[in-house]
Structure 1
């Protein structure tokens, strides 16, 4: 039944209706690509695994010359679920053409939010229309903070969406030295959106790190739906000026004190084999 529905859609011809005339004063043929039926910023479809969802893309030619449009899909695995009725068409002057397409959701598709794009290309110029797909079923919000490291005045880390919903994460940052708290930034929204399975590498500025200290940094990420994750890193900050002032003996004392402090904090014997090793950040 699904195959028959898809075949019927692909056999359908694009419909054409008159478009509003183009503004006078230019020889170029203006055109637009947008979801059919107008007024929608993107295509939104929802259904369970194993269904075929249908919609259409509108290409409007407001110029006085025919317009040849190439059509394609992009953005990974979800794009492969989309079948356009045609990958190329010519739109007459002052005409709008609606091109049907079908999204065949695999029976093994993971519930949650998925995205793709429909791309119309004319003479090298592209216009993309977003397709947002919600596959019904149990949703899971899951997030991890990975590869945390300190590098001078930057804290590097990666966020990975391990669930099946789109996440808008928030981040809190804490840093502790040997004797005091060095950084305490409350949770704030990050200017990123993470689709399911997406990984993004980010940095957190730290314009005034310590000149000489052993530092533990903790990044706590949260998102709607109960997603929560934490990533940590350790480093020994030794600026060139501090190194010259303290000398080799001072560095040894600081490094030894840092090791003993971690042993006491973790409840380990100072000669355990698994005592943490610190890296130096200059």
Structure 2
């Protein structure tokens, strides 16, 4: 009995020590340096901190701002910096490398120079901070040049494949778009697929992105037309369709559905695109 009591007392003491000490902090949390906008600056400051740089002004404007690199660790860290922007040389850093002492923050000034002949609209960029261990942090620079803006988008290369509908989006305007895509498919016997509008990745001016919509329950025997409807702020509304014929050949092909070409030629798909009244204007 006494032995059991001694064991119980020792166990309770050990648990008490663990409770008081708590879990040991990880080395990663102690040394996790960060990079981001300084606490103030830009044309849209935020008292709670800025997740990215936002700058807006007319052609010929020179913006000034700062990137903060914070090192909460016990040792000094050296971080390399580089600027990326679609125009090539609008962003200029005061330094391409910064050494941050332990438990210290370093602010690195930079400028964004907008040429006098710059086109109105969005010109996205970024400042990338990287350490010798390969870790990187990317801080977006959202620059909008004042002037007339145009929101325009096209839906291209719509294809119906095995279990998937593929398409491409191209930003034809000068503003960054956040598109939403709805998918609808009709067969000879009625509706086959209806997917409500859902967001896809943001699209900078002039950029093209490839996308895929899964369609796993394609029909065994039908002629299907898939319609994509894409909307975005600024009155963007675009549609495109693709048509394919599904045929099941039976046991010889394992019972799988096979896509047949519609119309002449070797292509497995046809596309019809209807431009919106917004773009035609």
Q: What residue is the counterpart of 2:107 in the other structure?
A: 98
**Greater relative contact order (Cα < 8 A, sep 6+):** 1
Q: Note if 1:137 corresponds to 2:139.
A: no
Of 93, 118, 122 in structure 1, the residue corresponding to residue 131 of structure 2 is 122
Please give the secondary structure, in 2, of the residue aligned with 1:123.
coil
- Point out 4+ residue stretches in structure 1 off by more than 6 angstroms: none
Cα 1:201/1:24, change in 2 over 3 Å: closer
Kept in 2, the 8 Å contact 1:30–1:63? The answer is yes
The 5-angstrom pairing of residues 209-224 of structure 1 reads: 209-224=218-233
CA distance in 2, matches of 1:185, 1:242: 32
Deviation per residue, 1:173-215 (Å, 9 max, x gap): 23233353433434x1223211212211111122222212222
Correspondence for 2:206 among 184, 191, 197: 197
Determine whether 1:241 maps to 2:250: yes
Contact 2:66 2:107 in 1 (8 A): yes
Check conservation: 1:237, 1:280, Cα contact below 8 A.
Answer: no
- Residue number among 80, 93, 109 corresponding to 2:118 in the alignment: 109
Could you tell me how far apart the structure 2 residues matched to 1:152 and 1:25 are?
47
Q: Which residue of 2 aligns with 1:171?
A: 181
C-alpha separation in 2, matches of 1:54 and 1:179: 62
Q: 2:51 aligns with which of 41, 60, 65?
A: 41
Question: SS where residue 110 of structure 1 aligns?
Answer: coil
Tell me, yes or no, if structure 1 residue 153 matches structure 2 residue 163: yes
**Change in CA separation of 1:30 and 1:179 when aligned onto 2, cut-off 3 Å:** closer
SS in 1 for 2:202: coil
Q: Does 1:71 align with 2:91?
A: no
Inter-partner Cα distance in structure 1 for 2:244 and 2:167: 14
CA distance, structure 1, for counterparts of residue 25 and residue 194 of structure 2: 59
Post-superposition offset of 1:55: 0.4
- Normalising by structure 1, we get a TM-score of 0.71
- After superposition, give the CA deviation of every residue in 1:35-79 in whole Å (9 maximum; x if it has no partner): 1126111111111122111101111233343322211113x4245
Question: In 1, distance between residues paired with 2:195 and 2:236?
Answer: 19
Equivalent residue, structure 1, for 2:257: none
1:52 alignment partner in structure 2? 62
| C-alpha spacing 1:67/1:280, structure 2 compared with 1 (3 Å) | closer
Q: In the superposition, relative to structure 1, how do residues 110 and 189 fare at CA in structure 2: closer, same or farther (>3 Å)?
A: farther
Using the size of structure 2 for normalisation, the TM-score is 0.72
Q: CA RMSD in A?
A: 3.0
- The residue correspondences of 1:244-259 to structure 2 (distance < 5 A) are none
Output the CA distance in 2 between the equivalents of 1:223 and 1:159: 12
Shift of 1:163: 1.0
Correspondence 1:255-274 to 2 at 5 A: none
| Kept after mapping to 1: 8 A contact 2:181/2:231 | yes
Question: Any gaps of 5 or more consecutive residues in structure 1?
Answer: 1-22, 245-254, 260-274
- Per-residue deviation, 1:279: 5.2
